[in-house]
Amino acid sequence: MADSTVRIGLVLPDVMGTYGDGGNALILRQRLRMRGHDAEIIEITLNDAVPDSLDLYTLGGAEDYAQRLATRHLTQHPGLQRAAERGAPVLAICAAIQVLGHWYETSAGERVDGISMLDATTVPQEKRAIGEVITTPLLKGLSAPLTGFENHRGGTTLGADAQPLGRVTAGVGNGVGDSQEGAVQGSVIGTYMHGPALARNPELADLMIRRALGVDVLDPLELPDVELLRRERLAAGRR
């Protein structure tokens, strides 16, 4: 394997990976390979310490109990925190936003300390947010509407150090009544969008790849099927 291989960390797929969120790592690998880069996925499970040396990282959503196991593991093995500090891109889906925040409350009302990579706190809401979500991106480098499928009970409030990823135009988003969706802080991007998010939002995938490679531009990829999927999901969300 060449040294130039881009290594994508799929963090705790054994406990965090609802709705095919592991697909985000596949999308990153595929988009890298289509542009001629060697890329591989490193699965980091509950049996492994979290390496801090990978080029980018993705974490998926989880049910409450699995989410707690992940929180404990990431607290005991702080490799993800070190990687983000040196600027490695991290994508955190749904429960992962909550775990990466300061704390979250479970549906049973227990407060669990997170790993404080995001200035965010999460409290369960009365009504579960389920369905399509569409947002206008607020992050520099993104222009196309973001689309995803959300299913969460937690409502996330951002502190001053985190910015929302998008402004909600359909669906619920962070769920605390401020029309915000997701959380961005340094190299960490959190979102409630399953889908998987990067299959539906190639611009977001390429933003992570650009950051990982340290380049401003990437060769465009013509993928009509992806455009079709986006049109379909955006239309479903606006219905």
List residues forming the annotated binding site for substrate: 128
Which of residues 18, 58, 71, 185 is near ligand GLN by CB under 6 A?
18
Q: Does 62 bind ligand GLN (CB under 6 A)?
A: yes
Please report whether residue 61 would count as binding ligand GLN according to CB under 6 A.
yes
Cβ pair 135, 146 in contact under 8 A:
yes
Instruction: Report if residue 179 touches ligand GLN, rule: CB under 6 A.
Output: no
CB of 198 to ligand GLN, least distance (A): 16
**Rounded to 10 degrees, what is the CA torsion of 117, 120, 124, 125?**
-150
Q: Is 194 a catalytic residue?
A: yes
Name the minimum Å distance from CB 206 to ligand GLN.
24
The yes or no reply on residue 23 touching ligand GLN (CB under 6 A) is: no
Pseudo-torsion of CA 65, 157, 206, 28, nearest 10°?
A: 0
Are residues 150 and 192 in contact, defined by beta-carbon separation less than 8 angstroms? yes
Helix (H), strand (E) at residue 137: strand 120-137
Please confirm, yes or no, whether 77 is among the known catalytic residues. Answer: no
Amino acid at 80: L
Which of 56, 126, 123, 70 is CA-nearest to residue 99?
70
Q: How far is the CB of 19 from ligand GLN (least distance, A)?
A: 7
Check binding of 67 to ligand GLN (CB under 6 A).
yes
With binding defined as CB under 6 A, does residue 30 bind ligand GLN?
no
Q: State the minimum distance, in angstroms, from the CB of residue 37 to ligand GLN.
A: 30
β-pair type (183-185, 180-181): unpaired
Q: Which stretch binds ligand GLN (CB under 6 A): 55-63, 82-90, 139-147, 212-220?
A: 55-63
Angstrom distance (rounded) from CA 60 to CA 92: 6
Annotated catalytic residues are 94, 194
Residues within the interface to ligand GLN (CB under 6 A): 18, 61-64, 67, 94-95, 151-154
